[in-house]
Amino acid sequence: MGSGVHVGSAVPGAPTVGNLTVEADSTASATSDGIAAAGGIVSGAGAVINAEVTPKVTSFIADGANVQLTGQLTIRSNFNGDASATARGANVSLGAVGSTNSEATLKPVVTTYVGAGATLGIGGGLTLESINATSQGAMATSNASQGSLIGGNGATATATGGATVETRIGANSTITAGQTVIVRAVSANLANAVGDGDTVGLLVGIGAVSADATTNGSTQAHLDDGVHLNAGGLTIETVASDWWASMAPTRPLL
């Protein structure tokens, strides 16, 4: 809802508005899968696979708005998504060199807010919440296989999960509510990176595999300076979970 919007009225006898819901929902996923193969006397093959999901999901009542309700006000932003990248490489020749790289990134921005200087008069309760959810998170998988008389190969898998989730009531807002005001931010960040490979060199074979998984999100729920609040209760809540795992062989690829 835009700046300076008026909804309902507190004037006796004027038309009233009961409940109001402002909600934004987004579901997004990206899946990338690539194979690079080569064969010959001397050959080289590589695969670079990327999957990136970085949406912005926002619901709000903007600066200076005036909202008068007899019932409940709900402002909510929801995101659910995944990013998956899989890279596979194979080389078979007398001399071979190859590199297989995958990168998965899941970094949504989810925001819910009441703008600065807004005036809300609510007969019931006010719920503001931002929710970031994922089933798989960011998943990167790389596998490199190579067989040759002389050869080298490598595999790199990088997964990053880092949602920015914020719920806020803007500065100098005035809020009156007959029931509880809830300001909530919830986020789950997952990242999983797997690297594997085999290098077979009848004379010389060299290979290296790395996997890196990172979660680096931010989850905030807050009231800004100068907020005036008169309500039946107040709950400010943040719930965040981060999980990451990386797996690569500790053996040399010889």
Q: Which domain holds residue 81?
A: 16-23+54-247
What is the average pLDDT score of the chain?
Answer: 84
Please tell me the total count of domains within the chain: 1
Mean pLDDT to the nearest integer, 64-89: 93
In a domain, 2, yes or no: no
The verdict on residue 204 lying in a domain is yes
pTM of the model: 0.83
Residue 120 lies in a domain: yes
Residue 131 lies in a domain: yes
Give per-residue pLDDT as tens, 80-127. Answer: 999 999 987 655 444 444 578 889 999 999 999 999 999 999 999 999
In this predicted structure, the answer to whether residue 25 has a pLDDT above a threshold of 60 is yes
Does residue 253 sit within a domain?
A: no
Domain annotation covers residue 6: no
Query: Is 146 among the domain residues?
Result: yes
Q: SS in 3 state form for the chain?
A: CCCCCEECCCCCCCCCCCCEEEEEEEEEEEEEEEEEEEEEEEEEEEEEEEEEECCEEEEEECCCCEEEECCCEEEEEEEEEEEEEEEEEEEEEEEEEEEEEEEEEECCEEEEEECCCCEEEECCCEEEEEEEECCCCEEEEEEEEEEEEEEEEEEEEEEEECCEEEEEECCCCEEEECCEEEEEEEEEEEEEEEEEEEEEEEEEEEEEEEEEEEECCEEEEEECCCCEEECCEEEEEEEEEEEEEEECCCCCCC
The residue among 25 and 87 whose pLDDT is bigger is: 25
Does 201 reside within a domain?
yes
User: What tens digit of pLDDT does each residue of 223-243 get?
Assistant: 999 999 999 999 999 999 999
What local confidence, expressed as pLDDT, does residue 146 receive? Answer: 55
pLDDT at 121: 95
